[in-house]
Chain A
Amino acid sequence: MMETYPLLAGALLFPLGMLLACLWPGALLRMPSYLAFAPIPAFAAVLFVADVSPLVVGPPRLHLTFTLDLPGALLLGVAALLWITAGAYASPYLQGRPNRGRFAVCWLAALTGCIGVFLAADMVGFYLFLAMLTLGACGLIIQHETADAWRAGALYIGLGLLAETLLLIAFVLLAADIPGNGLLIADAAAALPTSPHRDLIISLLIAGFGMKAGLVPFHVWMPRAYAAAPTPAAAVLSGAAVKASILGMIRFLPLDTALPHTGTLLAAAGLFAALYGVVIGMTQRRPKVVLAYSSVSQMGFIVAVIGMGMIAGDGRAALAAIFYSANHVLVKGALFLSIGVIAATGRRYLWPMLLPVAIIAVGLGGLPLTGGALAKIVVDGPLGDGAANTVATLSAVGTTLLMLQFVRGLITTVSTDQEATAAPSLFWPWLSTAAASLVVPWALFLAVPEGMLPNPLAPELLWKALFPVLLGAILAAVVWRWVRRLPHIPEGDIVVVLDSCVKIAPAWGKTIEQAEGMLRRWHVAGISLLALTLALGAALLAQ
């Protein structure tokens, strides 16, 4: 095995170096063609780093620490794969489009942030790279510069910054609890159960990461952002970037300590989002929006798994949630990429292209032998046998239905040219992501020592996975045959409320502006000066 440090440092420094190289105009011009290379060192690090010895950067007093623990490695590995294929896909996608250079810069910033978050072992580094990820992602969302894109970007960065501020307060509180001067996340998580501010910190963490993960009602950014972002960007954002929130929850929340109340709330919120995403997603027409709602649902499900782990104080739920996330990274990435491929394909070649899409799409609902089915088996333990499991089955039925709806919507986007085929440079990255989404979960599953997990080929498990899928398919047939019109709900559903608030805001702003104008008059300013003198004098004397 190779030395750890150069690999970890390379994983981070290579994309960062490419980002800095963009300062040179010549490099910026060519950068869009080389995006696929940026995550390769990170992928190599996952394959070759054997131990968890940390990489420490900076002087002893205040330093950044990076390490590759098991959850981080799992997510980083699949995320790097997706970043590589989506980067390859982005190169032809960008050809002839405006703002290619800016896309490359934002892409590399988001990528560096994503890798940094997965590797960061201390709070400052985690926060730094999370902010970098948010800024880069915002740049990717506004790439097309349409009015919708700007609105989506504003919503994304607004909620993102709010989430980060909540997290910042949580981190500051945690920093006060860590004995000594260290800021390691592991120490913070260990100190959290006995902290005097425990409940406050956990609420802040859940609120912050929940916003980033798109938990209802903070999911509003997801449909808008993913619909506005260019296809390859939507793939990495929905696949890789959003998983930073899951990793954050797992790293910071004390999953080994049973916290039944918080856990129940978290699980309930997650399961609600899992169903809510499906229901609203069914009313949507645009494939990207349908996928975004599916992400709301899937992220909710993953949060629910973490919540169930909190109820039981079972640390193993963390790995189960990570496994489920890893599967989602590749599947969602491949599905987003397929939107561009199908749009470039004519009717004649549609079905051979649609078949893999359909398989991995329905796999998300748990189609036997796919990664989705394996993921369901892995999370079965933490979900238990109670109501959570029933809701999980329901969500699997709903996800199948939603995914079939997605495939159906995809057919309508097919190219008008009968004979058209997708360019190989779009086709191969997409196909390799799809293939990886089928192979990688098996490889991970088989790496688990035998006996810890049930045999996925056992007939009763096959049936258990198959029956929600069948039910979903039947439901889809029923909906398509008999329901003439589904209600139309605007993209981002309850964000409409926010929009109307934004419309009221100018009135308030105007009032404040007028009041401020009043304060700037001479006599008013004179009176304020006098009043403040008296007030300050009184306040000073009152001791």
Chain B
Amino acid sequence: MPATTVLDATTADGALLVLAIVLPVVGILLSFVLGGRYAERIAGVLLPAGFIVACIIFLKVWQGGEPLIYIVGGWQPPLGITLRADGLSVAMMVAMAIVICLIGVFAHANFGSRAASVETRAPLVFWVMLMAISGAMNMIFLGGDLFTLYVALELLTFAAVPLVCLDGRVETLQAALRYLLFALLGSILYLVGTALLYGSYGTLDIVLMSQRVRLEPATLAAATLMTLGLFAKTALFPLHLWLPPAHAGAPAAASAVLSAVVVKGSFFLIVRLWFDALPGLLSVAASQLIGVLGASAIICGNIVALRQKRLKLLIAYSTVAQIGYLFLMFPLAFSADPSPHHYGDALTAGMLQTISHATAKAAMFMAAGLIYAALGHDRISELGGIARALPMTMFAFGLGGLCLIGLPPTGGFLAKWLLLEATIATAQWWWAIVIIAGGLLTSAYIYIVLSRTMGPPNAPLTLYAAVPKYQEVAALGLACLSVLLGLVALGPIDVLQVGRPEAPMAGLR
């Protein structure tokens, strides 16, 4: 049995974890108290502060090589609530905090509160929901028991749904309802699974559960329900019906949050569930099934993206495809001949893919939003000449595209290298074919978009609105991050393994 030592004492600096969750909550309360005109200013202070807190936690965990733990109120699990920051949490926290901050910069143009203006609905909702998402994500990354994670997941969903329908048009309202209904279905499945697990083991604490867990039908049924619920929330193919209309219809800043950040929350829970709470329970057949779903997402999502006429829909379908890559880590980590090395490699690859997709996709949605703002439409066939009008924007789009294709030195490349290494080490060449085909299809639609935008305009280009420079800089900054992510191989990539129990060996099988 792995992890025999129970880490159940608050470590030094554990209070930082509380701060990471409380900061955004304070922001939300202040916004309601002071009014919508101040919401942006409050977010402008608290989101960077959250980023700094995340960085401090990251450094402590990286240098200490030990997870940070905080027992809320001093009540020990299984009664109390534990917050736990291991390598996975801190890496994701920092990455998501950067993305959210840059999205905040970008959103200033659309949801900025002008001095002495009256309070309007959209900015208040946007900034409050952005802070709520930031807090919910931190809670998902730090939560040490499955019920806290459920609460965080609900918070995330309810913060994300209003973002879809910020502009209140009919089709966005429909998309938001669709999202809400399907996400609630997912929540119910997750909650039922949690209840079943509590009934079997009398605890929902992840560390305690990993020590008590047994291979029995009730556990497996619970795990199945929870996983399916999370699949629905992550929009894994073929349960992606809500994603394209929701992500393509929202305002650019909201699309970026939804695509880059929100879907990663439920994905992270799937990882927590199978890697930490129920180690060694995922059978080879089940992991292959998850892999097949991921592979069909990659192939189908990319092909449908290739056929889209509108840029934002194309990017949304590209998200459907990229979500597929995340799930390839399961068949690779839980292969027929498990070895700790490949287990760690697959996990690292999946997390790296998560982070590089977050940065690249946020940059691409921002670029698409700027094009939409400038032209008043985003029909791909009529984008001619825009590259000359907005060179920096298109550069950001292209760099993000390189990351999705997986060219060096981007983070996407490093993730693909690790995934390919794992496919070969575990002799599962079929996933390698999917990875290759996905990369080629991706390059095809990136090339089509770039060639259209660089081509001559059909009619003389009329720009409806001037695009603020800082919005372009925010998009470019994220794109550059996604490119430079490949360089983490030189440094802090080890941090992902901090606080991880040794890979489950055949012990439970």
- Listed in ascending order, the chain A residues whose CB lies under 8 Å from chain B are 58-59, 61-62, 124, 127-128, 131, 135, 142, 145, 150, 153-154, 157-158, 161-162, 165-166, 168-169, 172-173, 175-176, 506, 509-510, 512-513, 515-516, 519-522, 525, 528-529, 532-533, 535-537, 539-543
Q: Are B220 and A537 in contact, CB atoms less than 8 angstroms apart?
A: yes
Chain B nearest CB: distance from A182 CB in Å? 15
Q: Are B215 and A543 in contact, CB atoms less than 8 angstroms apart?
A: yes
Pick the most buried of B238, B307, B417, B455: most chain A CB atoms within 10 A of its CB.
Answer: B238
Residue B490 is within 8 A (CB to CB) of chain A in the complex: yes
Q: Give a binary string over B482-493; 1 marks a CB under 8 Å from any A CB, 0 the rest.
A: 000000011100
Q: Are A165 and B447 in contact, CB atoms less than 8 angstroms apart?
A: no
Q: Are A532 and B509 in contact, CB atoms less than 8 angstroms apart?
A: no
With A157-B447, A525-B238, A536-B286 as given contacts, are A509 and B408 in contact (CB-CB < 8 Å)? no
Instruction: Tell which of A175, A522, A540 touches B224, judged by Cβ atoms closer than 8 Å.
Output: A540
Residue B155 is within 8 A (CB to CB) of chain A in the complex: no
Q: Are A165 and B224 in contact, CB atoms less than 8 angstroms apart?
A: no
CB neighbours of A539 from chain B (8 A): 283, 285-286, 288-289
Nearest CB in chain B to that of A536: its residue? B224
Nearest CB in chain B to that of A508: its residue? B303
With A168-B417, A529-B185 as given contacts, are A127 and B283 in contact (CB-CB < 8 Å)? no
Cα distance A541–B219 in the bound complex, in angstroms: 10
Nearest CB in chain A to that of B219: its residue? A540
User: Across chains A and B, which 10 residue pairs bring their CB atoms closest together, nearest first?
Assistant: A543-B283, A539-B286, A539-B285, A520-B241, A537-B224, A128-B408, A540-B220, A519-B238, A525-B241, A172-B420
Q: How many A-B contacts are there with CB distance less than 8 Å?
A: 132
Cα distance A161–B424 in the bound complex, in angstroms: 20
Nearest CB in chain A to that of B486: its residue? A128
Q: Are A135 and B407 in contact, CB atoms less than 8 angstroms apart?
A: yes
Q: Are B241 and A532 in contact, CB atoms less than 8 angstroms apart?
A: no
Please, could you name 16 A-B residue pairs with CB atoms under 8 Å apart, sorted by A? A62-B490, A127-B408, A131-B407, A153-B447, A157-B447, A165-B439, A168-B417, A515-B300, A532-B231, A533-B225, A533-B228, A536-B227, A537-B220, A537-B221, A540-B220, A540-B282
Q: Are B303 and A62 in contact, CB atoms less than 8 angstroms apart?
A: no
Cα distance A114–B439 in the bound complex, in angstroms: 23
CB neighbours of A535 from chain B (8 A): 289
Nearest CB in chain A to that of B221: its residue? A537
Cα distance A521–B239 in the bound complex, in angstroms: 10
Residue B425 is within 8 A (CB to CB) of chain A in the complex: yes
Cα distance A145–B387 in the bound complex, in angstroms: 13
Instruction: Tell which of B232, B300, B417 touches A516, judged by Cβ atoms closer than 8 Å.
Output: B300
Q: Give a binary string over B204-239; 1 marks a CB under 8 Å from any A CB, 0 the rest.
A: 000000000001010011011101100110000111
Residue B304 is within 8 A (CB to CB) of chain A in the complex: yes
Q: Give a binary string over B87-102; 1 marks a CB under 8 Å from any A CB, 0 the rest.
A: 0000000000000000
Supplied contacts A153-B447, A169-B436, A515-B300, 7 more A-B pairs, CB within 8 Å: A128-B408, A142-B454, A169-B420, A519-B238, A521-B241, A536-B286, A540-B220
Q: Give a binary string over B238-249; 1 marks a CB under 8 Å from any A CB, 0 the rest.
A: 111100100000
Cα distance A157–B447 in the bound complex, in angstroms: 9
CB neighbours of A142 from chain B (8 A): 451, 454
With A513-B303, A539-B283, A540-B220 as given contacts, are A158 and B440 in contact (CB-CB < 8 Å)? yes
Cα distance A309–B326 in the bound complex, in angstroms: 44
Residue B347 is within 8 A (CB to CB) of chain A in the complex: no
Pick the most buried of B224, B290, B293, B300: most chain A CB atoms within 10 A of its CB.
Answer: B224
Residue B277 is within 8 A (CB to CB) of chain A in the complex: no
Residue B306 is within 8 A (CB to CB) of chain A in the complex: yes
Q: Are A533 and B182 in contact, CB atoms less than 8 angstroms apart?
A: no
CB neighbours of B238 from chain A (8 A): 519, 525, 528
With A62-B489, A154-B451, A539-B283 as given contacts, are A161 and B405 in contact (CB-CB < 8 Å)? yes
Cα distance A58–B491 in the bound complex, in angstroms: 10
Q: Are A145 and B455 in contact, CB atoms less than 8 angstroms apart?
A: yes
Cα distance A513–B232 in the bound complex, in angstroms: 20
Chain A nearest CB: distance from B192 CB in Å? 11
Q: Give a binary string over B415-451; 1 marks a CB under 8 Å from any A CB, 0 the rest.
A: 0110011001100000010001001100110010001
Q: Are A533 and B300 in contact, CB atoms less than 8 angstroms apart?
A: no
Q: Are B241 and A509 in contact, CB atoms less than 8 angstroms apart?
A: no
Q: Are B286 and A540 in contact, CB atoms less than 8 angstroms apart?
A: yes
With an 8 Å Cβ cutoff, the count of chain B residues facing the other chain is 61
With A62-B490, A172-B417, A536-B286 as given contacts, are A529 and B239 in contact (CB-CB < 8 Å)? yes
Nearest CB in chain A to that of B409: its residue? A128
Q: Are A540 and B283 in contact, CB atoms less than 8 angstroms apart?
A: yes
Instruction: Tell which of B284, B408, B439 touches A161, judged by Cβ atoms closer than 8 Å.
Output: B439
Instruction: Tell which of B185, B304, B416 touches A513, judged by Cβ atoms closer than 8 Å.
Output: B304
CB neighbours of B223 from chain A (8 A): 540
Q: Are A175 and B241 in contact, CB atoms less than 8 angstroms apart?
A: no
Cα distance A127–B417 in the bound complex, in angstroms: 11
Q: Are B220 and A162 in contact, CB atoms less than 8 angstroms apart?
A: no
CB neighbours of A166 from chain B (8 A): 436
Residue B457 is within 8 A (CB to CB) of chain A in the complex: no
Nearest CB in chain A to that of B236: its residue? A532
Q: Are B509 and A520 in contact, CB atoms less than 8 angstroms apart?
A: no
Q: Are B232 and A529 in contact, CB atoms less than 8 angstroms apart?
A: yes
Instruction: Tell which of B285, B436, B451 touches A542, judged by Cβ atoms closer than 8 Å.
Output: B285
Q: Are A512 and B417 in contact, CB atoms less than 8 angstroms apart?
A: no
CB neighbours of B285 from chain A (8 A): 539-540, 542-543
Instruction: Tell which of A124, A145, A522 touches B408, judged by Cβ atoms closer than 8 Å.
Output: A124
Q: Are A525 and B490 in contact, CB atoms less than 8 angstroms apart?
A: no
Cα distance A58–B489 in the bound complex, in angstroms: 11
Instruction: Tell which of A131, A154, A536 touches B289, judged by Cβ atoms closer than 8 Å.
Output: A536
CB neighbours of B289 from chain A (8 A): 535-536, 539
Cα distance A58–B490 in the bound complex, in angstroms: 8
Q: Are A512 and B303 in contact, CB atoms less than 8 angstroms apart?
A: yes
With A161-B439, A513-B307 as given contacts, are A175 and B451 in contact (CB-CB < 8 Å)? no
Nearest CB in chain A to that of B240: its residue? A520
Residue B281 is within 8 A (CB to CB) of chain A in the complex: yes
Q: Are A165 and B307 in contact, CB atoms less than 8 angstroms apart?
A: no
Cα distance A323–B491 in the bound complex, in angstroms: 41
With A157-B447, A543-B283 as given contacts, are A176 and B509 in contact (CB-CB < 8 Å)? no
Cα distance A168–B440 in the bound complex, in angstroms: 13
Instruction: Tell which of B182, B228, B237, B444 touches A536, judged by Cβ atoms closer than 8 Å.
Output: B228
Cα distance A157–B402 in the bound complex, in angstroms: 12
Cα distance A519–B456 in the bound complex, in angstroms: 37
Q: Are A532 and B490 in contact, CB atoms less than 8 angstroms apart?
A: no
Chain B nearest CB: distance from A25 CB in Å? 10
Q: Are A158 and B443 in contact, CB atoms less than 8 angstroms apart?
A: yes
With A154-B447, A525-B238 as given contacts, are A59 and B440 in contact (CB-CB < 8 Å)? no
CB neighbours of B284 from chain A (8 A): 543
CB neighbours of B443 from chain A (8 A): 157-158, 161
CB neighbours of A176 from chain B (8 A): 421, 424-425
